[in-house]
Chains A and B, each alone.
Chain A
Amino acid sequence: MTQQSTAEKLDQSRLNSTQDLLSLTESIRGRRDEKRPVIIVCHGTGCLANGSPNVAEALRQAIKEAGIAAKVVPQIKTTGCHGFCSRGPLVIMQPAGIFYQRVQPDDAQEIIQATLVEGRPVERLLYEDTKTGERIIHDYEIPFYKHQQRIVLKNIGKIDPTDIYDTIGAGGYLALAKVLSRMSPADVVSAIETSGLRGRGGAGFPTGRKWASAVAASKKRPGPVYVVVNGDEGDPGAFMDRTVMEGDPHAVLEGLIIGAYAVGSNQGFMYVRAEYPLAIKHLNIAIEQARELGLLGKNILGSGFDFDVEIARGAGAFVCGESTALFTSIEGRAGEPRPKYIRSVEEGLWGRPTVLNNVETWANVPLIIERGADWYKNIGVPHSTGTKVFSLVGKIANVGLVEVPMGIPLNRLIEEIGGGTPGAGRFKAVQTGGPSGGCLPYELGDVPVDFDSLTKAGSMMGSGGMIVMDEHDCVVDVARYFLRFLEEESCGKCLPCRLGLKAMLEFLNRFARGEGSLEDLAELENLAKAVQDGSLCALGGSAPNPVLTTIRYFRDEYEAHIKEKRCPAGVCKDLISYIIDPEKCTGCGACARSCPQGCITGEKKKPHNLDPAQCIRCGMCLDSCKFSAVVVR
């Protein structure tokens, strides 16, 4: 943290005009020494868990010991997540941009000595290209970053999110200044409409149109209007919103203030899941610092516009991210969805017109205002403009967070940026849109990743979670996995969801045991459609997606379970058996020792035997064999 500088600069008195803000931006930029070494140590949740604070401390120590203080004191800066969490802790040496991965405290001395004193990189800590094996020095040359277009994430990994001056130096709040000095609320709404921005929280509703409806609704019924940030992010494996809130909280706040000005709101809420303590902390700091500078509160930047914001902690349930459940939760009641034939822009929080947008949606707003709707509109594809942040997880080499222009083909995202599946094989399927999204096969790899193409393929953009699967994943098992998650998260209010998800699971469990018939498969599809049509909220409404898409794209795999009692991926326990290949078995005995059933026998140095009658198919022997002699049939 750049604490000394923050304290010194917090003497800055309240900004009373947009001109005051511009002067502050200039003065922060002017004070910067472009040549001063800055060592960036990622302090995102992933790197923190891997011990990055110890790395930062070791680097501080090493700088002292090396005695460089005499020349220029290198600054250690802790930032939000860079997205490449699987390589953390990350250390980046600026201004050169040398990228070190998996850095441990023990590496600190060598990093300082080599990079800062001798001016050469530490080879062994550089990124190694997964295909060519070549070492890459700079972050911007690494394929993972090279093919991205980071605009929402542009500051993350560069600024200290707990220091408002660092944000302002990077251009923070310039869009707000522009809005307050030169734009009417209607201009702002129309800029957002022109930009083509669509909601990043799931449904892809046009943001400008939503704002315009709220304005219209509040004209009909004068009174308070609310703006709300949806930071509930309940999808397992998704962490884009967390990263934005932790790494650039002011971007979300600035977007919200601009939106409030546009729709005439004086009170906002940030609904953040309680499991995100770092995000809550950083947002709280951001709110306090913004208030102190007069960017929030009464008479913002002397414009006469009042707006303040409160953080509401999420109740922890996935369904609380649904708009009506989120409102009841903020109002202090159990987070349960309500039927909404009246839209929340008309009757939202406390029955008043309310604009609810996702974290990433809000973070796009300052960009559009600052650089113009036309600039924004040219990124991406016509009906899905701008970029989207995705989290790549599952069987993929570069697990992490990426930002790409909308419309990028699915396989470019997975192969080029994600580095493909580890090992020799290609990916088998990708679940896009989180647990209630759809499962798309390798053959649809050229599908453009945009709202409408994904929906057409039976999946959805959702919030941007991507789970990659390879040939060791069984689609019946995958469908069961997502359904079980959603069944747990169902609020239980409406029958098609509470009973239907359980009933769909009963069908799938039968298939996984090799039971059931092709007629059952057809009935499962009918049931899935009943749940889609009949459920109260989109949790139940979209929960059948994984079932319907796996049947649509992998029908032969379902049929193999049902007709041949065979699980082609070798996953469904009731349909597989383990055998020992006598050609490969060296008789080392490792499997026999690992087997909890004691069903593997044999003499030392002679091929062993496995008794299928006693085997519970736990897979311990498979994991223990170093000679690939245990095979799944």
Chain B
Amino acid sequence: MSKNSIKEKNIIGFTINGQAVEAEEGWTVLETARYNGFHIPTLCYHEAIEPSGACRLCVVEVREGDWSKVVISCMYPVKEGIEILTDSPRVHNVRRWVLEMLLAECPASKEIQALAAEYGVSSSRFASVDKENQCMLCGLCVRVCNEIVGVNAISFASRGTSKEIATPYKVPSTACVACGSCVTVCPTGAMQARLDQVRGDISQRTGHGHAH
């Protein structure tokens, strides 16, 4: 979303944590918050990629009259007169649980540990299945590869608790151009360790696809 477009846009006014803010029609709450210097944590969001709403770390509470609801700021469209709370008790409750569960899910991720510590979560009561895991399946790598690079080398496989990110048939992908975009967008450091599984052995490449 371009924030300095020359074309006249409708200006929408609302409040964040009690402070009046203005946004252009079509902006999200997250965009407006960041533009105005409010901090909201995110994991699965990247400004160059379509949002997917997977991690739910960016939740905020929205109030409109006597109606209130927890929504994700990375996709919630701005609306005249709403009140946004970025750190209400309900918001805090969602965040602290997501982070505690993530600590158990991705015990090897330094990034997750740092983020959790920011919210006062230093250990987890839940079981870790894989001590080496860093991936939380936010899908940014899949989306960047698909939307921006346009080669679809990786995708989600399976669903539910056995969901994972993989190349087709779990062999190095001939489609991968080894651009490293996935590594750049990955918020947990997981893709760094995985890139070799995706692109295979570069020295074997011929320029006409590569031998498995």
Contact = CB atoms under 8 A, between A and B. Distances in A.
Contacts of B160: 487-492, 498
A317 B159 contact: yes
A341 B70 CA distance: 12
Interface stretch (A121-129, A226-234, A247-255, A531-539): A531-539
A534 B56 CA distance: 6
B54 A493 contact: yes
Given A339-B75, A341-B77, A496 B94 contact: yes
Nearest to A532: B70
B7 interface: no
The listed residue with most A CB atoms (<10 A of its CB), out of B56, B76, B96, is: B56
Contact of B98 (A338, A490, A495): A495
Interface string A472-504: 000000000000000111111111101110110
A556 interface: no
Interface string A504-524: 001000000000000000000
A217 B130 CA distance: 48
A493 B161 CA distance: 10
Contacts of B108: none
A487 B70 contact: no
Contacts of B96: 530
B56 A495 contact: yes
B70 A534 contact: yes
A530 B94 contact: yes
B71 interface: yes
B163 interface: yes
A490 B90 CA distance: 23
A536 B127 contact: no
Nearest to B74: A339
A487 B70 CA distance: 22
The listed residue with most B CB atoms (<10 A of its CB), out of A317, A492, A495, is: A495
A494 B56 contact: yes
A233 B198 CA distance: 39
A321 B208 CA distance: 44
Contacts of B77: 341-342
Contacts of A503: 97, 101, 126
A538 to B, nearest CB: 13
B137 A526 contact: no
Contacts of B72: 339, 536
B56 to A, nearest CB: 5
Given A492-B160, A500-B101, A526 B55 contact: no
A530 B75 contact: no
A502 B136 CA distance: 15
Interface in B87-134: 90, 93-94, 96-98, 101-102, 104-105, 125-127
B53 interface: yes
Contacts of B137: 492, 498
A494 B57 CA distance: 10
Contacts of A408: none
Interface residues of A, number: 32
A495 B161 contact: no
Given A341-B76, A535-B56, A536-B53, A530 B159 contact: no
Contacts of A488: 160
Contacts of B104: 499
B176 interface: no
Contacts of A565: none
A531 B101 CA distance: 11
B153 interface: no
A561 B14 CA distance: 49
B161 A498 contact: yes
Interface in B20-70: 52-57, 59, 70
A500 B163 contact: no
**Chain B interface helix/strand/loop/mixed:** mixed
Contacts, number: 92
Given A530-B93, A533-B93, A499 B101 contact: yes
Given A529-B93, A533-B90, A494 B161 contact: no
Interface residues of B, number: 34
Nearest to A337: B53
A218 to B, nearest CB: 21
A579 interface: no
B161 A502 contact: yes
A536 B159 contact: no
Contacts of A536: 53-54, 56, 72
Nearest to A534: B94
A245 B53 CA distance: 35
A527 interface: yes
B163 A498 contact: yes
Nearest to A317: B159
Given A341-B71, A341-B76, A495 B93 contact: no
Interface string B140-173: 0000000000000000100111110000000000
Contacts of B102: 495, 499
A425 B159 CA distance: 42
A491 B52 CA distance: 14
Contacts of A535: 56
B99 to A, nearest CB: 10
Contacts of B94: 496, 530, 533-534
Given A503-B126, A506-B126, A530-B98, A495 B55 contact: yes
Nearest to B71: A341
A338 B52 CA distance: 7
A494 B102 CA distance: 12
A510 to B, nearest CB: 10
B38 to A, nearest CB: 19
B89 to A, nearest CB: 10
Nearest to A342: B77
Contacts of A530: 93-94, 96-98
A314 to B, nearest CB: 15
Contacts of B98: 495-496, 499, 530, 534
Contacts of B97: 496, 500, 503, 526-527, 530-531, 534
A341 B136 contact: no
28 contacts: A334-B159, A336-B159, A339-B53, A339-B72, A342-B77, A487-B160, A490-B161, A492-B162, A492-B163, A494-B55, A495-B54, A495-B98, A496-B94, A496-B98, A499-B98, A499-B101, A499-B104, A500-B101, A503-B97, A503-B101, A506-B125, A529-B90, A530-B94, A530-B97, A533-B90, A534-B59, A536-B54, A536-B56
Closest 4 CB pairs of A and B: A492-B163, A534-B94, A499-B101, A533-B70
Interface of A: 317, 334, 336, 338-339, 341-342, 487-496, 498-500, 502-503, 506, 526-527, 529-531, 533-536
Given A487-B160, A488-B160, A491-B160, 9 more contacts: A341-B76, A490-B160, A493-B54, A506-B127, A526-B93, A527-B97, A530-B94, A533-B70, A533-B90
